[in-house]
Each structure stands twice: as C-alpha cells, then as structure tokens.
Structure 1
C-alpha cells in the first residue's frame, strides 16, 4: 500500500513549525489500514515493537510492506528503498504472546 500526506493534513501544524514531519502515529495508522485492507477489521491491536528510523515529509510517497498472518504481522514503512519505520503488530483478541 502506497500513501502520502498532503501539506494541509491536520496532523502537521505544530509537528514541527517550519519543517513539518509526518507524525509516527500517522505512519502507524496507515499500517493498521493496510492490515485491515488485507485481513478485515481488527478490534484491538498492540505494538510490542516499533522503530522509527527516518522522517517522512509531507508529499513524499511511502509504501507499507506486511509479513505474517493474523494474529501477528511484521511491517516496514519505506520511502523508495529507505526504511522509515519497522515493527510488529499483534491482534489482542488472540492469546498470542509477544
């Protein structure tokens, strides 16, 4: 799944003035959207591991790669070949252990 945020996205003001960056929570929201597009709605998720490595700027295109099946997925968020974020998401409905 590819995505980009426009310059006028409501999460950008104040994050950071003069040089806006896409907040990490918005990246994670897009990861959840990718999981739900592939596997249907998820009730509750937890993130036992997340690393943010590089910023994403408004207007830049990023892609999400998912690996795994319910209840556990590994994800990567990339800008071209540059890794921006990676981690793991686990569905809370399952009795999965991190």
Structure 2
C-alpha cells in the first residue's frame, strides 16, 4: 500500500477565514478538502473527482500545522486523514480522476 504525507498550514490571512467565524476563525472543511485535492494532484497527478465520505471531528485554527495523509483504498479510492499533534481532525474517502 502506498501513500503520501504533507504538512499543511492555512495562514491567518486566508480569504475564507474572516467569514468562518468572525472573531474566532476556524479553517473551513472545504479548505481542508482543498488540501486533500492538492495532495492528490502532487501525489498521483489526479484531480479530486468525488468526495465519498468526509467527517470533521475537531477544528484546525489558522496558522496551526497539521499532517495530511493519503492512502490507497482500492480502485480509484483514496482515504485521507488530517491530524494535529496526534489528534484526528478529519478523515474520509475520495475518488481521484485523470
């Protein structure tokens, strides 16, 4: 089984943060999924096709570092996990496409 790992950090100046949530910004789930898509592109040269499952268990704050892990899960499916200091923030399954 092969995989991919990358550290991600969403800077406090990211344009999605002021609206999510004013005064106490959290990194939106869609931005985390964007990191999954960027990792998939870097690892396999594929685009994100479909998000089959995504669960967000704990917040990522601006300027915090997290570890993105991608693993093959059969056919065109990829499992992802995003962790910060051993705490699982998000996990799910996506499909890649050419």
How would you bin the TM-score normalised by the shorter chain?
Answer: 0.7 to 0.9
Contiguous gaps of at least 5 residues in structure 2: 1-5
Match in the other structure for 1:56: 60
Distance in 1 (CA, whole Å) between partners of 2:93 and 2:61 is 23
Q: CA deviation at 1:7?
A: 1.1
Distance 1:57 1:70 in 2: 33
Q: In the alignment, which of 9, 21, 26 is matched to residue 16 of structure 1?
A: 21
Task: Report Cα offsets for 1:60-80 as digits up to 9, x if no partner.
Answer: 001111110661100000112
Q: Unaligned 5+ residue runs, structure 1?
A: 94-98
Query: TM-score of the superposition, structure 1-length normalised?
Result: 0.86
Q: Note closer, same or farther for the CA distance 1:66–1:86 as it changes in structure 2 (3 Å cut).
A: same
Name segments (4+ residues, structure 1) moved above 6 Å: none
Instruction: Please give the TM-score of this superposition, normalised by the length of structure 2.
Output: 0.86
Q: CA RMSD of the aligned region, Å?
A: 1.6
**Structure number with higher strand proportion:** 2
Q: Is the 8 A contact 2:40 2:96 kept in 1?
A: no
Corresponding residue number in structure 1 for 2:89: 84
